[in-house]
Amino acid sequence: MKQVTATGQTVKEAVESALAQLQTTEDHTEISIIDEGKKGIFGIFGARPAVVKVSVKMDPIEEAEKFLISVCEKMGAPITIDVEKSGKQVKFMLSGEKIALLIGKRGQTLNSLQYLTQLVINRFSNQYLNVILDAEDYRKRRNETLIHLAEKLAQRAVQSGKEVALEPMPSYERKVIHSALMNNKRITTYSSGVDPHRHIVIAPNK
């Protein structure tokens, strides 16, 4: 966070000095008055300058974008980003020529980038923001694959009469499985294990 401490004959002058040094405007900053100053006798004797500390507010979404652009360039996969914000959820949609490199096997690279972006955005945000990272509709395609997999494995559990354990998944992918099978009265789903090895188990109802 950029910040400066500035002085002036008045608080207003001190703030104006700080803004000039930071090359920004008051609405993009946080101002702390350290000393309101003192005019002194005849404006000379015992006079004390006003002192303020001015900090530039960092935009959490912009900082997250900068992070993503930098990391992807270093990975050799330059990107462009479209952003959608809805309440406390921020969705970053990535596109680029080497997007498959950023998705990785079963979305593992994309999931790791999403986790890191979540950390970055909340370091600069005053309220908790939930990040969704998508790359050319990968999440939608992945959800469709997970739903199909869930239905197939639920059928296997019913036919065999045995529990079926899925591979470890991040929490939002586990939710897709739970939601897909919640109305299936023949089976029960539950999560087992500890992250990053937490996974879903499909158990037949007896």
Q: Are residues 14 and 70 in the same domain?
A: no
* Same domain (yes/no): 156, 175: yes
Q: Assess whether 169 and 121 both reside in one domain.
A: no
Query: pLDDT, tens digit, for every residue of 48-92?
Result: 888 888 887 788 999 999 999 999 999 999 999 999 999 999 999
Residue 182 shares a structural domain with residue 161: yes
Residue 107 and residue 62 in contact, taking contact as beta carbons nearer than 8 Å: no
CATH number at residue 71: 3.30.300.20
CA 70 from chain centre, in angstroms, equals 15
Report d(CA 74, CA 66) in Å as an integer: 12
DSSP 37-86: -B--BTTTBT-B-EEEEEEEPPPHHHHHHHHHHHHHHHTT---EEEEEEE
Rounded CA separation 118/122 (Å): 6
Would you state the structure tokens that stand for residue 158, as one six-digit string? 């019913």
> From first to last of its 206 residues, what are the pLDDT tens digits of the chain?
677 777 777 888 888 888 888 788 777 777 788 888 777 665 566 678 888 888 877 889 999 999 999 999 999 999 999 999 999 999 999 999 999 999 998 888 998 999 999 999 998 888 899 999 999 899 999 999 999 999 999 999 999 999 999 999 888 889 999 999 999 999 999 999 998 789 999 999 97
Tell me if 72 sits within 8 A of 102, measured CB to CB.
yes
- The answer on 132 and 65 residing in a single domain is yes
Q: Are residues 51 and 64 in the same domain?
A: no
Residue 53, beta-bridge partner list:
5, 32
- Please count the structural domains in the chain: 3
Looking at residue 180, which CATH number applies to its domain?
Answer: 3.30.1370.50
Torsions phi, psi of 17, nearest 5? -65, -45
Contacts of 129 (CB under 8 A, 6+ apart): 60, 88, 89, 90, 118, 121, 122
Question: Hey, how many other C-beta atoms are within 10 angstroms of the C-beta on 172?
Answer: 13
Same-domain check for residues 52 and 65:
no
Predicted TM-score of the model (pTM): 0.67
Query: Which amino acid appears at position 38 of this protein?
Result: K
Residue span of the structural domain in which 144 resides = 140-204
